[in-house]
Chains A and B, each alone.
Chain A
């Protein structure tokens, strides 16, 4: 039973990594360097929390559903700032999304110490959501929630989207070569790039909404231990392939859960996980180069 709980914990940890990993894959495939999954995830978490808390004690599964939708809209909106800065002012999204990550962190900090703080005003967090407004547990006796199933389903949908739809093809074409996509394919690069950014943000926002409605049941600072950054590793190890992201997300979820267990039991610092993650990114890059695959090639890979 203890092992089952450990596996479930790994899958719980994997859920935001898969979602944010899909967000990163969507962006990178379309040639958009969205490093802002972290901020978009936080905005999704904050907005989902606000919706459920505003609903009040009667909040039920309908509130949770609305929270998920508004959470993903919030993620898309946060990404839209960087997308608009890129479209109108040619601001590098690498820089703007990182700035927006910091702004989101301070915004969450303000919310949980200000308007959304719990009624006793002691702890920097919101009050807990009504149980009826949380995502159902799918494996009784564990913390594994519906969000995991939804994340895996979305990965399947995205795999189909990239492989079998015209829009998915346009995105891959643009990631491979914006100039060719425009001159040969007649693709409106600015518009497609903007749409990719929004979809990427929506996926990251949904990751945050899943996290508050499925795991924490409240909003607080540090709600994300850097999911948005780890997600870059998750997506790259999987070669930006949605199905692969499910596997690498579960792998990283297990890695981080084990690191936390190791810290607790053997006092090995959990930060060792980020050393392993960065080594894996560098390894994946080297592997891609050795096999003659640049990132551009990775973006067009169809599996």
Chain B
């Protein structure tokens, strides 16, 4: 593989779990719900996927991952929508809860030597012909099926959000929940479903990490991806296609190390690790005034 292909392959690999989580968060945020607890959903999904894939089926693993993420989102929905607690603080607590719960369960169930356990992983399937396209063929079309499913999910979410009545209702809630109520939209039910779906995709993101990439679980392996995904939603201007592009850009920033290594540039490796976060800050500053958040984002549900 050439340096360029390694770079592109790394880009797609990093972007895949981020895109799942960010697309899910986009749906929740368009309904006015900012779930900072996404990190908790991702790590829960990683653990749930690890446990469920232990049964021997990678598909069952993804079901377990999604459901585990959804459970964390259900706690978030309970506190923010039913009890009407502050979204940011609830989300922070959910992140802590997910990280603490998975670390505790993992050590209790698998013991300290659990790291050696491995599970069946989702192999790479090359798509005939497409994978033979020069340069981009291998990085884009020699991936685990989880990545291909994302190629279908992103346009599907876009279509649903902008071309259906239900999608319009969701966006209306994010802009003005009171008007949505007046229009007869079931606001709380829609918000709950949006949060649950966001948690499900966050869980899938964790499942991708475990089942399609690492092949095992490690404490705290979500490594801040939930927070990065939330930044990606902003960079993608709350639009599913924009969010997908932003995930790829972030993936590319993370993968620059392959390019730099090939060129023989000697920079400390921490510079590459920090680069995506620095670029995110510049990106957020750069889109100032061009992107507007859903008007009711983060407010208490009406």
**Chain A residues engaging chain B, CB cutoff 8 angstroms:** 33, 35, 81, 85, 88-92, 94-96, 98-100, 102-103, 106-107, 109-110, 113-114, 229, 232-233, 236, 267, 269, 271-275, 277-279, 281-282, 285-286, 288-289, 294-295
Q: Indicate if B56 sits at the interface (CB-CB under 8 A).
A: no
Q: How many A-B residue pairs have CB under 8 A?
A: 130
Judging by beta carbons under 8 Å apart, are A271 and B100 in contact? yes
Judging by beta carbons under 8 Å apart, are B99 and A274 in contact? yes
Q: Indicate if B93 sits at the interface (CB-CB under 8 A).
A: yes
Bound Cα distance A285, B92 (Å): 12
Judging by beta carbons under 8 Å apart, are B101 and A275 in contact? yes
Q: Which of B273, B289, B300 has the most CB of A within 10 A?
A: B273
Judging by beta carbons under 8 Å apart, are A279 and B97 in contact? yes
Judging by beta carbons under 8 Å apart, are B288 and A90 in contact? yes
Chain A minimum-CB-distance residue to B107: A269
Judging by beta carbons under 8 Å apart, are A272 and B104 in contact? yes
Chain B residues whose C-beta falls within 8 Å of the C-beta of A295 in the assembled complex: 86, 89
Chain A minimum-CB-distance residue to B272: A106
Say how far A20's CB is from chain B's closest CB, in angstroms: 14
Q: Which of A89, A100, A103, A278 has the most CB of B within 10 A?
A: A278
The range of chain B's interface size is 35 or more
Are A107 and B86 CB-contacts (below 8 A) given A92-B234, A232-B92, A274-B96?
A: no
Chain A residues whose C-beta falls within 8 Å of the C-beta of B197 in the assembled complex: none
Say how far B100's CB is from chain A's closest CB, in angstroms: 3
Chain B minimum-CB-distance residue to A114: B268
Chain A residues whose C-beta falls within 8 Å of the C-beta of B96 in the assembled complex: 229, 233, 274, 277-278, 281
Judging by beta carbons under 8 Å apart, are A285 and B100 in contact? no
Judging by beta carbons under 8 Å apart, are A269 and B270 in contact? no
Say how far B112's CB is from chain A's closest CB, in angstroms: 8
Known: A85-B285, A89-B285. 15 other contacts (CB 8 A): A91-B288, A92-B234, A94-B36, A106-B273, A106-B274, A229-B96, A267-B112, A269-B104, A273-B100, A275-B104, A281-B90, A281-B96, A282-B85, A285-B89, A289-B85
The stretch from B46-54, B130-138, B180-188, B275-283 touching chain A is B275-283
